Structure 1
Amino acid sequence: MTRNGGDVVVETLEALGASTVFGIPGQHALGLFDALRRSDLRYVGSRTEVNAAFAADGHARTTGSVTPLLVSTGPGALQTLAGLQESAAASVPVLGISSQIPSAGLGGVRGGYLHELTDQLASFRDVVKHARVVRQVSQIPSALAEAWEIALTAPFGPVWLEIPQDVLLAAATVPPVTSVSWSPRALHPRAELVEEAVRLLDGASRPVILAGGGALGCPGELLELAEKLRAPVVTTFGGKGSFPWDHPLSAQSWVEDRHTTEFLAGADVLLVVGSGLGELSSNYRTFRPRGAVVQIEADLGKLESNYPALGIHADARHAMRALASGVAARAVDGVAEERVLGLLASVRERLQGQGLDLEWQVLDALRAAVPDGTPTCWDMTILAYWAWSAWDPRGGAQLTAQGSGGLGYGFPAALGVAAAVDGPVLAVSGDGGAMYGISELATAAQHGSRVVWLIVDDGGYGILREYMTDAFGQATGTELARPDFVALAGAFGVPATRSTPESLREDLAKAFAGDGPHVVVLPAVLRMFAPTHLEHT
């Protein structure tokens, strides 16, 4: 058979290092998907394009490298936008490859093509880091290498390529692709900024570190710096796992608590690593630093965008390595550790008076049942909001959709993670969010994905119910009819268990002991802990 543009795509992906791709075929993309069967790439097909994008996101976060996402034109491409928005917000290197209408129709030159958009690329330009249309087979290897390199240049992020149907089907006149060179641009800190940051940190009597998502790439350097400075470390929701949860200097992740906000504000030097100090990390803009702020941020647009700081535009890994080698080591006197204990005691005391026994019971049962080191994927649901602050990762990556806040992330992302790891994966959804990804039970069954999916069924959009009731006295549009999730999972051939708060630990443990997907349904109405930023305003 004559090689075509689709073959050149898959050859290049293999040469770049891809092993697994996600997506859904479509009419204009058939040349690309036909080429997959002549490659060694593993294909994991989803049931909707947005779920394929979430799965690619979960896979890329787990591998730390680029994950390809293959979809078709028009409706198929547009359905990926919610997933790509999450990847952009969380700096995840997903490579979207979409087909296009035939070249003759691009730009509306000729109308009437199936799935036609006058300028499909325009829908993606403000979402991804880089977008390009490939117009010749010979351009494919260089265009893919360029996109791959950009996706892995700090800050990481999604990229997008479009290839017309006729280019995918055109005979390839270039030889088979065996090697492709690429090299992400290194983003090193400027020397004078490092020197000034070292001076500030060495002179601080109460240094504190706020570790954001960027710190996930430099946990060793973060630990070294914190221990040399004797600096407490607070992690943002996106930075969970960058610092050991039970370390004596770990002030954990209660960033929506006024005590933590005050703790950060009281630092005479606050080092912010890989965070833009946005809405959540600043406790809804109530954070008011009284000391100096040093901000390390790879995204130039986020540098000092919310608070004045000594801004260091750099990959956190390079900047933290320079700071860790530059600061002087301090004696262990126990003062910082006592401050951390005092903070965590204040947080616990505030929560204890809110009648949240059920919520703690469920969270404790979940933590006891999930094996250490297990990756967890959380949808936008009340239990996930708790987990942002309270979950101890115990060596397992904690993936959340809080970057852009879209519903439906948890289960499809877990399927992507499961394609990259040997052990089990946990997904957590509410009944509302679960319906976004319910079709992916077919994907889980087809691939034997070892995902335990916990669905907390409270009869609606629980967090929105709380928000609306608090704001307006009653909720509208939040109550939902939903299926019998246990019976529905069974229809897909997936084992399922109806649980209770009392049996949750045992039910989850049995699910994790299996070698395939398992659904655990917990009928329960959970509540959020009281918002604490309101007390601070």
Structure 2
Amino acid sequence: MTRIGGDLVVETLRALGAHTVFGLPGQHALGLFDALRRSELRLVSARVENNLAFAADGHARVSGEVTPFVCSTGPGALLTLASLQEARESSVPVLGISSQVPVAGLGGGRHGYLHELPDQQASFREVVKSVHVARTASQIPGALRDAWVSASTVPCGPVWVEIPQDVLLAPVSLPPITALTVPSRPLEPLPDLIAEASRQLADASNPVILAGGGVVRAGAQEELLALAESLRAPVLSTFGGKGAFPWEHSLSGQSWLEDWHCTEFLADADVLLVLGSGLGELSSNYHRFCPRGRVIQIEADAGKLESNHAALGIHADVKLALAALSVPRREPDGRAETAVAGLLSRVRDRLAGQDLGREQQLLANVRAAVPEDMPTFWDMTILGYWAWSAWPGALHSAQGAGGLGFAFPAALGASVHGPALAVSGDGGAMYGLAELATAVQHRLDVTWLIVDDGGYGILREYLTGAFGETTATELARPDFVALAHSFGVPAIRSTVDDMQADLAKALATPGPAVVVLPTTLRMFAPTHLEH
């Protein structure tokens, strides 16, 4: 058979190391999808483009690999923007590949093509890490290689590639692409800055470490543990940094970052080492954090260095920087452990005074039902907000951009590698219901816990707290159990008392499943102890 431009795309992706592609066909992308049909790549479809991109995001998070998705021009492409924003904010290496109108319609040429945008690239340029275009067949391998390198280079992030319809369909004379070298570009720290950071940490009397998502993305957990134990330094984790440090370690201050006790604990450090975090809104208690000592910030994204607080900023991969730090090992004297125990005691006392035992027990029951190594994906829902602070380990959530509808499609993408759990509220669940068909079609082992409180629960709390009443938060919604059954997905309506057993059973049964929990949860109130 005559090879076409679509074959060049597939061959290049294979040569770069891709094994799975997420895709939703469209008129301008026919050449690409026919090539996928004839290839060895696994194609996982979706029903809506934003969910398609979320699925690629979830797959990339659990695999650690650049994950491609392919879609059509115009409306299909634009639907991926919110998902790509999440991938960008969370540094996830997603490779979006879109078709385009024929070459004659680009750059001010002919107009009136179906799906045509005046400048499709412009819609993506400020959302993704980089944009790449191939207008001839010979440009396809280089454009995809450059995009792959961009996506996988620290700081990782989503990238965008556009290829016109006629280029994807036209016969090609280039030989088959079988091998591509992807250059490694390690982001090493400057030695002088590492020496100064080592000196400041060695001289500190009350060092504290804040571990962000960059620790997890860099795989620097062992290096962080070694440094913390050498310094006898307490470690708190951002919501994105969950899993960076052992939850029950005697130096672990855990991740109650919306608690003013934790905010002050960080501010009291004479040297605060911030790893892989820009100290943004959620990590700084809504920008109320005000450090009183020195700050050392190690961050792969140069734009985040000192963007919120003055610091000794080190632009580097966290793993490489931690390996380069040299501090003398301190003998344990119990001071750091006592300080951490006191902090967590104050947090527990605050929660105990708010009658939130039901919420805490529910989250503990979810944790007990989920196998230790199973990835979990959380929507922007009250139980997900609890998990940010109280879930004792790694999790994936949409806190980067904060959009609804992330959990279920992202878990679908992750389940290509193995079983996964998604947790949504009834509002967020409505974004992804169509993907129940995807789960059935591809026999994906994903369990979906839907906490149904009849509305946008967290917005209900926010509006009531601010104005005394709500607007547009109460929702008509389907019978989720009956709806899941209509797709052929096993589903059960559970109770707070039975949820742990029902969820454990669903997780232990291969294939998709839905557990619906009708209940209304409350968020904990933040402390306000500002001086």
Normalised TM-score (structure 1): 0.97
Correspondence list, 1:44-443, <5 A: 44-216=44-216, 217=218, 218-323=220-325, 326-393=326-393, 397-421=394-418, 424-443=419-438
The residue type paired with residue 521 of structure 2 is L
1:183 CA drift (Å) = 1.3
1:475 CA drift (Å) = 0.6
1:286-343: CA deviations, max 9, x gaps? 11111100000111111000000000011111111111xx111111222211111111
The residue type paired with residue 415 of structure 1 is L
Contact 2:225 2:245 in 1 (8 A): yes
Contact 2:260 2:526 in 1 (8 A): no
SS at match of 2:324: helix
- In structure 2, distance between residues paired with 1:286 and 1:385: 19
The residue type paired with residue 152 of structure 1 is S
Match of 1:13 in 2: 13
- In structure 2, distance between residues paired with 1:536 and 1:378: 31
The residue type paired with residue 460 of structure 2 is R
1:434-491: CA deviations, max 9, x gaps? 0000111001111111111100000000000000000011010001000000000000
1:413 CA drift (Å) = 0.4
1:213-257: CA deviations, max 9, x gaps? 101121111111111111111010001111111111111110110
- Is 1:486 the counterpart of 2:492? The answer is no
- In structure 2, distance between residues paired with 1:330 and 1:37: 60
What percentage of aligned pairs have identical amino acids? Answer: 67
Which of these residues, 444, 448, 452, is aligned with residue 449 of structure 1?
Answer: 444
SS at match of 2:252: coil
1:513-534: CA deviations, max 9, x gaps? 10111100000000000023x4
Worse overlay, 407-416 or 443-452:
443-452
Correspondence list, 1:27-42, <5 A: 27-42=27-42
1:535 CA drift (Å) = 4.1
- In structure 1, distance between residues paired with 2:385 and 2:294: 30
1:182 CA drift (Å) = 1.3
1:194 CA drift (Å) = 0.2
SS at match of 1:402: coil
CA root-mean-square deviation: 0.9
SS at match of 1:239: coil
Contact 1:150 1:184 in 2 (8 A): no
SS at match of 1:107: coil
Worse overlay, 362-371 or 379-388:
362-371
- In structure 1, distance between residues paired with 2:107 and 2:425: 42
1:173-206: CA deviations, max 9, x gaps? 1100000111142211111100000000000111
Worse overlay, 484-493 or 311-320:
311-320
- In structure 1, distance between residues paired with 2:432 and 2:341: 40
Match of 1:460 in 2: 455
1:372 CA drift (Å) = 1.1
The residue type paired with residue 525 of structure 1 is T
Contact 1:201 1:327 in 2 (8 A): yes
Contact 1:361 1:501 in 2 (8 A): no
- Is 1:477 the counterpart of 2:472? The answer is yes
Aligned length: 529
1:361 CA drift (Å) = 2.2
- In structure 2, distance between residues paired with 1:188 and 1:530: 41
Contact 1:23 1:46 in 2 (8 A): yes
- Is 1:531 the counterpart of 2:526? The answer is yes
The answer for unaligned runs of 5 or more in structure 1 is: none
SS at match of 1:178: coil
SS at match of 1:183: coil
Contact 2:231 2:329 in 1 (8 A): yes
1:390-423: CA deviations, max 9, x gaps? 0012xxx4110000000000000000110123xx
The residue type paired with residue 407 of structure 2 is G
SS at match of 2:240: helix
- In structure 2, distance between residues paired with 1:529 and 1:108: 55
The residue type paired with residue 118 of structure 1 is P
